[in-house]
A and B are shown apart, each in its own frame.
Chain A
Amino acid sequence: MSGLVDAADPIALSLNIMRRLPPNRIEQNLSGLLNLCPKMTDELLQRVDQPLETSTGTGRPFILSDYNRDGDSYRSPWTNEYAPQIEDGFKPSQKLRALEVQANEIFDSYRELYYEGGISSAYLWDLEEQEGGFAGCFLIKKDVTEDKYVKKGSWNSIHVVEASPPSNGKSTYKLTTTIMVNMDTTGRECGATNLAGSMTRQTEQTTVVNDTTSPHLTNIGKMIEDMEIEMRSNMHGLYLLKTSQVVNNVRTAYMGPKQGTDHTKILSESVAKHGAQRKIDSES
């Protein structure tokens, strides 16, 4: 299904509206919707992802989310402490916290490899209804300012994963990923140009899990990496290039008997390049 939801359900209506309003104003648009329909606050906040915010305290920065929030305080994945400090703030079990520490360490390396900047945080919690299963969210936020190509931009990755308790040596991982990107581009010839987009995808995989060659974090990490590669590729090849085609549908740059040839060539080259990239991406 790719159509907009057609229903009188306020949540469905709100999701429709969010898919039409500018994706560089997600917070403002969402807050407007919540003011229109305060009763749907909880569900809408669960259904609509917003650009991530990061801690402002003195310690190592981390990402704020509903997954590490208790009241008005947020738990740092680096120290396991809440800021501002609170008594009896929710914390993962000791065993899961050990895994969370590793998750933050390895995910931080992943972030550095692909982002060369930004902040990452991973938060884990036990699945009460599934003994031995757990869930986690893996977050990356990268802000860019006055870069060669981007005047001001932000990238947000939100990966929510659920790992089932191992059965016959295998676990099933469900991953939901949302990527939100917002870029004011540099380059005077393009004037003030903003490109923004959000997309969500889901995937599920059942994989061997063991402590040596295929621990949970390795399985989850690979899934996240593949998902991000695929979604970054789609963000470019399917989404951003599509807005270029839309512009070229409104205004035609090339005229004459060979109308569109040059441009078609440019686009095909770009698509071919994109295709080549995808091959590389899916080889390993």
Chain B
Amino acid sequence: MSKIGSKDAHHSKKEFTFNVHRDMSDEEYEEVSDEEKLQIAQHFLLSSPPGQFDEVLADVKKLLPPSLISPEMLTGIARAYNTRHSTLVTVGDKVMPICKEAEIDATKYVDSVSKKMVKVDHTKWTGTVVEDKPLPPTAFDASLESKRTAILSAVETYVTKHFGGGRAACGVYSKEGKITVVISGDKVNLKNFWSGAWHSTWTLESGELSGVAKLKAHYFEEGNVQLQTTKEFPKVAIGGGDDEAIGKAVAEEIFKAEQALQMALGAMYINMSEETLKSMRRVMPFTRSKMEWNLQAHKMVKQLHSK
């Protein structure tokens, strides 16, 4: 396999064209303001593939004026990134997802499993339990607590079963009559040039469950290929019964929806060469034989096509 990165032949040819066609001395490049540079850096960081925020940061930093990104700014960007992707942070020997439902303030989050307050370092993806401070009384909706723990227990079983490949966790939160389930899993293997993440947010309100799942996969060995999927799941009714039954029903609906999504993606991949990718370019011409690269033969093909 040939090498990517050193596109020297390409390079020299393009340079040649530039030199011939373009008077470089006329070109003037305008510096953008520091404010704009920060916006670009922020955009890059927020677009980082799963588990690669630090890698992008290391490279972007070197392209910026020294210390243009202050630690406070960086924390703000990382917090936005973590919230957007329900990124997992390590707390002791466990992980928990970052999400706005869990947020007490910019650095303090609710661990919905231990019901403790966790102080999060957004740029290190770690958290420490704040032992001496109880959760604020509004952290959970007390009237939903039994239902919330039942859902948590059922969804944890689902997560353990289906997100065993990498790291994964779920959080279940309640506020003003509404229960939110956040599921987050990722697997990062940068040595082998890939990383992926799957996170979903589900809301149970007035007996109806709806949600959205987001997936990203990145493979970049001698190239850069990414899958991005966002799938919204419309409301389904969750039947009655006791809290345990409701918990199981919620986990079952989440399983069914996410399983269907993964199966649909699998089917898309399996038929890709003959469907999706064929819409872009055929594997072989309809004649099943390669092109005749002489002017006479190709004229015949042209006539065939125009019929």
Q: Which residues of A contact B (CB under 8 A)?
A: 1-2, 5, 8, 10, 13-25, 29, 32-33, 35-39, 41-42, 45-47, 66-67, 69-71, 90, 102, 105-106, 109-110, 112-116, 125, 127-128, 135, 137, 142, 144, 147-150, 153-155, 160, 162, 174, 176, 181, 183, 185, 187, 189-203, 215, 217-218, 221-222, 225, 228-229, 232-233, 235-236, 239-244, 246-253, 255, 263, 266, 269-270, 273-274, 277, 280-281, 284
* Chain A to chain B contacts (Cβ below 8 Å), 9 pairs: A13-B62, A23-B226, A29-B44, A67-B14, A199-B4, A202-B2, A202-B3, A235-B225, A249-B196
B269 engages A241 (CB within 8 Å): yes
Shortest CB distance B206–A (Å): 24
CA–CA, A46 and B10, complex, Å: 8
Task: Give B157-182 interface residues, CB cut-off 8 Å to A.
Answer: 161-166, 168
Which residues on the A side are within 8 Å of B232 (C-beta)? 191
A236 engages B223 (CB within 8 Å): no
| With A23-B224, A215-B294 already in contact, 8 other A-B pairs whose C-beta atoms are closer than 8 Å | A36-B37, A38-B29, A46-B14, A191-B213, A194-B226, A246-B194, A250-B163, A253-B162
Q: Which of B15, B185, B223 contacts A198 (CB 8 A)?
A: B223
Q: A46-B18, A200-B4, A284-B289 are in contact. Are A150 and B276 (CB under 8 A)?
A: yes
A66 engages B228 (CB within 8 Å): no
A242 engages B275 (CB within 8 Å): no
Q: A2-B222, A193-B229 are in contact. Are A149 and B63 (CB under 8 A)?
A: no
Task: Report the nearest A residue to B269, measured CB to CB.
Answer: A244
Which residues on the B side are within 8 Å of A280 (C-beta)? 284
Which residues on the A side are within 8 Å of B133 (C-beta)? none
Q: Which of B198, B225, B231, B287 contacts A191 (CB 8 A)?
A: B231
Q: Which of B3, B7, B11 has the most CB of A within 10 A?
A: B7
B222 engages A187 (CB within 8 Å): no
B283 engages A229 (CB within 8 Å): yes
Task: Give B263-288 interface residues, CB cut-off 8 Å to A.
Answer: 263-266, 268-270, 272-273, 275-287
Task: Report the nearest A residue to B197, measured CB to CB.
Answer: A250
Which residues on the A side are within 8 Å of B15 (C-beta)? 46
CA–CA, A177 and B137, complex, Å: 62
Task: Report the nearest A residue to B200, measured CB to CB.
Answer: A251
Q: A105-B295, A194-B227, A240-B225 are in contact. Are A150 and B290 (CB under 8 A)?
A: no
Task: Give B187-212 interface residues, CB cut-off 8 Å to A.
Answer: 187, 193-198
A242 engages B55 (CB within 8 Å): no
Q: Which of A128, A192, A225, A240 contacts B272 (CB 8 A)?
A: A240
Which residues on the A side are within 8 Å of B48 (C-beta)? 20-21
Residues of B in contact (CB 8 Å), total: 113
Which residues on the B side are within 8 Å of A46 (C-beta)? 10-11, 14-15, 18
Shortest CB distance B284–A (Å): 7
Q: A13-B62, A47-B11, A193-B268 are in contact. Are A200 and B223 (CB under 8 A)?
A: yes
A240 engages B277 (CB within 8 Å): yes
Q: Which of B11, B29, B277, B302 contacts A232 (CB 8 A)?
A: B277
A20 engages B228 (CB within 8 Å): no
A191 engages B194 (CB within 8 Å): no
CA–CA, A41 and B219, complex, Å: 27
Which residues on the B side are within 8 Å of A15 (C-beta)? 5
A90 engages B20 (CB within 8 Å): yes
A250 engages B166 (CB within 8 Å): yes
Stretch at the interface among B74-82, B115-123, B254-262: B254-262
B226 engages A192 (CB within 8 Å): no
Q: A10-B62, A252-B162, A263-B266 are in contact. Are A112 and B305 (CB under 8 A)?
A: yes
A33 engages B63 (CB within 8 Å): yes
CA–CA, A198 and B194, complex, Å: 15
Which residues on the B side are within 8 Å of A250 (C-beta)? 163, 165-166, 168, 185-187, 196-198, 215, 217
CA–CA, A10 and B214, complex, Å: 33
A24 engages B63 (CB within 8 Å): no
CA–CA, A33 and B279, complex, Å: 32
Task: Report the nearest B residue to A244, measured CB to CB.
Answer: B269
Which residues on the A side are within 8 Å of B41 (C-beta)? 36
B47 at the interface (CB under 8 A from A): yes
A1 engages B281 (CB within 8 Å): no
Which residues on the A side are within 8 Å of B161 (C-beta)? 252, 255
Shortest CB distance B23–A (Å): 9
Task: Report the nearest B residue to A203, measured CB to CB.
Answer: B2
B307 at the interface (CB under 8 A from A): no
B226 engages A24 (CB within 8 Å): yes
Shortest CB distance B287–A (Å): 7
Which residues on the A side are within 8 Å of B260 (C-beta)? 189
A185 engages B268 (CB within 8 Å): yes
B284 engages A281 (CB within 8 Å): yes
